[in-house]
Structure 1
Amino acid sequence: MNAPAPRTGHAEGFRELVNSRRAVRRFTAEVVPDDVIRQCLELAMLAPSSCNLQPWSFQVVRDPAVLQRLHRVCLGQSAAKAPLIITVLARTGTWDQACRDVLRFWPAPSVPEAIERFYTNTAPFQYNQGWMGWRGFFKRQWVRLAGLGRAVMRTPNSQEQMRLWAVKSTALAAQNLMLAFQSHGYSTCPMEGFDEKRLKRVLPIPRDANAIMLLAVGMPGERAVYNPRLRFPLEQSVSWH
């Protein structure tokens, strides 16, 4: 299947959207409509992910009683008083079901042989770390040997590397989600300051999930942005080769 032709003429609009996004610390009580939430989540899930395994999940919290409990979980932050909080989770244990789902939801009448072979053999070998990580241990030894003579896929070969793998893809989806809400006129604040243990007492967080952020969403209130934007010079972070 050919890739869609690139669309032109959106650079300025995208620049304006990205420039307009700020972390908002104070929100009004205005409720975010369900259809807007759903549309933004759909755009979040269009983010790319490693091997298209989509290791993310989202818990949408609108119930005032649960939001009140989350405010305490978030250490009393002003942003946590938003009318909507979305818990963004990176999942390390969904890869096996995702391999099956790729084949189950393949958007064509038949699955190409190479695709089926990859998701029934290659991907499971790559992501299955085994009980207590025993498979990962042996894969690390194999990688050391195989990598002496050629380029090889060296990760993920441990539970910690699986966590990093899931977080990287989920962070891409989270950025999509923030920009999607911004395009609908709603502001966001990604919160990393929260008590993860207490979060698990409030929400049913799966055992394999890492909560990478709690995303506050709503209409900005008074003095919603605390400080002027600060970013380091481009030259400080970029090298050209």
Structure 2
Amino acid sequence: MAETIFNSVPKHNYSEQEPTINPEEFRKVIHSRRSVRLFNGTPIPEEIMNECLDLALLAPNSSNLQPWEFYWVKSPDKKSELVKACLSQPAASTAAELIVCVARSKTWKQNANIMLDVFAKSNAKIPSSVIDYYKKIVPLAYTQGYFSILGTLKRLILSVRGLKTPTPRNPVSNSDMILWATKSCALATENLMLALRAFSFDSCPMEGFDANRIEKILDLPPDAHIVMVIGAGKRSPNGIYGPRIRFERNLFIKEV
């Protein structure tokens, strides 16, 4: 097999010490994370909310291009408008905090440049293959052109190449880019919800909202795609509407 930027291991001297984790505590966080529909009005201390948002930003993401934004809506007026845009559902109207989780499909270029700037300022020796990745592969992969014209051309080239060798087939359109950004943003929103639970607070991810109204409330740019709105706070005794229901494991876990 020919060596490429994808299958080669760059030479580096970096290592991290692996911390010891208590799996039982992690299980408690996972099992106690529920979609809470009614909060009791207890405020979330600002330092905890900030730390939870910082932990969200540590989520894995595509090429470390971090195509996400989190709008912590603190203005009372905007928050009131946001509750209405979320259909005034209790998970929004009773939440101590509301965070709008947004995927950005066109920030990859500026974030790739930030990565290159980080490398330039680093005292470590950055492998040339890593520099090439951000200078060459990233623009090639994510540039779609006007009306996805370049993406359409890439689709044809990649389809032909894929006849002979394993080939990444996406993204090759603007809709692919939205999906690409959404996947990373969704990973970060899960981090956010688990972080809130670790601090003994709760959350509810909401997809029932008027996206057009939220875009206007937050003055979002054209490439912003609202993934979900997170309501956060302390659960009310009747805030969970029933026991957790999960279907049979063998419907979803496939050993092949």
TM-score bracket, shorter-length normalisation: over 0.9
Mean Cα displacement is larger for which, 100-109 or 171-180?
Answer: 100-109
Distance 1:29 1:206 in 2: 32
Distance 2:219 2:46 in 1: 21
Identify unmatched segments of 5+ residues in structure 1. none
Identify unmatched segments of 5+ residues in structure 2. 1-12
Mean Cα displacement is larger for which, 102-111 or 20-29?
Answer: 102-111
Q: Which structure 2 residues correspond to residues 68-107 of structure 1 after superposition, within 5 A?
A: 68-81=80-93, 82-106=95-119
**Contact 1:181–1:187 at 8 Å: present in 2 too?**
yes
Size of the alignment, in residue pairs? 241
Shift of 1:31: 2.3
Deviations 1:37-86 (A, max 9, x none): 21111111111111111111100012222221111101120011112100
**Contact 1:178–1:188 at 8 Å: present in 2 too?**
yes
Deviations 1:195-223 (A, max 9, x none): 00111221121210110100001111231
Q: Are 1:21 and 2:33 matched, yes or no?
A: yes
Q: Which residue of 2 aligns with 1:163?
A: 178
User: TM-score, structure 2 length as denominator?
Assistant: 0.90
Structure 1 runs of 4+ off > 6 angstroms? none
User: TM-score, structure 1 length as denominator?
Assistant: 0.95
Aligned-partner SS, 1:133? helix
Deviations 1:161-190 (A, max 9, x none): 111111111110010010001111110000
Q: Which residue of 1 aligns with 2:126?
A: 111
Distance 1:229 1:39 in 2: 28
How large is the RMSD of aligned CA atoms in angstroms? Answer: 1.4
Q: Which residue of 1 aligns with 2:229?
A: 214
Distance 2:206 2:221 in 1: 20
Aligned-partner SS, 1:36? helix
**Contact 1:88–1:214 at 8 Å: present in 2 too?**
yes
Aligned-partner SS, 2:112? helix
Aligned-partner SS, 1:166? helix
Q: Which structure 2 residues correspond to residues 116-155 of structure 1 after superposition, within 5 A?
A: 116-155=131-170
Which among 181, 203, 212 is matched to residue 196 of structure 2?
181
